[in-house]
Amino acid sequence: KAGVTQTPRYLIKTRGQQVTLSCSPISGHRSVSWYQQTPGQGLQFLFEYFSETQRNKGNFPGRFSGRQFSNSRSEMNVSTLELGDSALYLCASSLGGGVRETQYFGPGTRLLVL
Amino acid sequence: AQSVTQLGSHVSVSEGALVLLRCNYSSSVPPYLFWYVQYPNQGLQLLLKYTSAATLVKGINGFEAEFKKSETSFHLTKPSAHMSDAAEYFCAVSVLGGSQGNLIFGKGTKLSVKP
């Protein structure tokens, strides 16, 4: 089975621009979570989608948004980029997002904001 | 609220020596605990997880961890370090009744292995 894939792998943007990142989960997985990883803050939960609905959201401003499609693929969007948005963005998939379930992570998208 | 503390942001061991990476959790309800490993420029890979069955959990690559409720700990060990174990290790927690799809991670411990 193919793993979680994320595109693009690397991205350079300038302040004020917006960006869209894509995540394709493992086949059959319906839950997709997004995390931001930075050296200072570590791994922080952004949001989780299940069956095209956002079920949970972390403590991030409204500039961070996402969606999920009927095939479980997910996108996250960051509008009005700030320098502090530079990070590795990881998505993870699981069967149903249950708290006991293993989340399988993609390789991440590294975003640099100049 | 749940939280995870990983003692030691950097740990260095010699090849063949014992690896011990510490993780303490805080939770008012029984936790589910995970250890993940991250190699440079890669995502996270699950090493092992505790979901209230056996307290001693064996994972991949020779790693194991023991859940100790009295100490609120879930330390990761490996009897003999290999050069390929050099990576960053993350402990994470979720809880029954918690938000789905939301793992709470510790800050991570970077493991170096000296030849």
Q: Pick the residue from chain B with its C-alpha nearest to A6.
A: B43
Q: Which residues contact A16 (CB under 8 A, 6 or more apart)?
A: A80, A81
Strand runs (DSSP E) across B1-115, as ranges?
A: 3-5, 10-14, 19-21, 24-26, 31-38, 44-50, 56-58, 64-68, 73-78, 87-95, 104-105, 109-114
pLDDT more than 90, % of chain B: 77
Nearest to A99 among B90, B100, B106 (CB): B100
Is the CB of residue B33 less than 8 Å from the CB of residue B93? yes
pLDDT more than 70, % of chain B: 98
For B55-79, give the DSSP string.
SEEE-GGG-EEEEETTTTEEEEEES
Distance CA A12, CA A31 (A): 28
The pLDDT tens digits for B60-71 are 999 999 999 999
Which of A99, A100, A109 is the mutation pick for testing B, counting most B CBs within 10 A?
A: A99
Distance CA A86, CA A83 (A): 6
A22 CA: distance to closest CA in chain B (Å): 15
Would you write out chain A's pLDDT as a tens digit for each of its 114 residues?
A: 789 999 999 999 999 999 999 999 999 999 999 999 999 999 999 999 999 999 989 999 999 999 999 999 999 999 999 999 999 999 999 998 888 889 999 999 999 999
Give the pLDDT score at A101.
87
Mean pLDDT of chain B: 92
Contacts of A108 in chain B (CB under 8 A): 42-43
pLDDT category, B36, cuts 50, 70, 90?
A: very high
Could you tell me whether strands B44-50 and B56-58 are parallel, antiparallel, or unpaired per DSSP bridges?
Answer: unpaired
Is the CB of residue B18 less than 8 Å from the CB of residue B77? yes
Contacts of B106 in chain A (CB under 8 A): 42
Contacts of A26 in chain B (CB under 8 A): none
**Among A30-34, B29-33, B94-98, whose mean pLDDT is lowest?**
B94-98
Asked whether the predicted pLDDT for residue B5 surpasses 80, the reply is: yes
Average pLDDT over residues B90-110: 86
Beta bridge partners of A64: A78
Asked whether the predicted pLDDT for residue B95 surpasses 80, the reply is: no
pLDDT category, B37, cuts 50, 70, 90?
A: very high
Of B59 and B28, which is predicted with more confidence? Answer: B59
DSSP letter at B85 equals G
Residue that has been written with the tokens 């994320």 in this structure: A6
Encoded amino acid at A75, one letter: E
Average pLDDT over residues B9-19: 97
- By the CB < 8 Å criterion, does A60 face chain B? no
Give the pLDDT score at A98.
83
Give the pLDDT score at B49.
93
Q: Kind and range of the H or E element at A10?
A: strand A10-13
Spatial CA neighbour of B25 closest among B110, B101, B97, B90: B90
Distance CA B73, CA B75 (A): 6
Give the pLDDT score at A2.
85
